[in-house]
Amino acid sequence: MAKSTIAGELGLDTQLSYGDTAETCTTELAGIVRIESPGGDTEKVDTTDMDTVNHKTAVSGELEDTDDIVAEVKYFKTQHNALIGLISAMKYFKIEFPDGSTEVYYGFLAGKPSVTAETQNILSGTIRIKVCDEPDFSAAG
């Protein structure tokens, strides 16, 4: 995979980009240093109604709470306002891995990035993306 502009210039192999649709996630945002992909826990919900056999509690496991993506990233200072502009904005976020595979998530940036280091024109920090739908994974190739 050819290195993209931001990740390549920062010496990183994994890229984060975003867009308005899954197909248009081409706006580069940051290079990813480390990432925690979301899991997904199915919530156990106890329900009871008069139609339940013997009026017992029924358990439904249909609600799923997806976790957040937590990523340690590096980005240019010029990208900081773009990150701030994504707070609470529903977008598609694409993670491009070194082997060419991708994962696309629908969600929003949950809060301001926590900037932990600054060198010249590069910021390092952590971002949290609230995932609102199942990811779309594409294998390399």
Q: What is the pLDDT of residues 60-95, one digit of tens each?
A: 555 555 678 999 999 999 999 999 999 999 999 999
The CATH number assigned to the domain holding 132 equals: 4.10.410.40
- pLDDT exceeds 90 at position 96: yes
> In one letter, which amino acid is 92?
Y
**Residue 46 is assigned to a structural domain of this protein:** no
**Residue 57 is assigned to a structural domain of this protein:** no
pLDDT of residue 56: 58
Question: pLDDT confidence of 37, banded at 50, 70, 90?
Answer: confident
The rounded percent of the chain whose pLDDT value lies above 90 is 55
pLDDT of residue 3: 47
Q: List all residues 6 or more positions away from 133 whose beta carbon is below 8 Å from its beta carbon.
A: 66, 105, 106, 107
- pLDDT exceeds 60 at position 52: no
**Residue 77 is assigned to a structural domain of this protein:** yes
Q: List all residues 6 or more positions away from 46 whose beta carbon is below 8 Å from its beta carbon.
A: 57, 58, 59
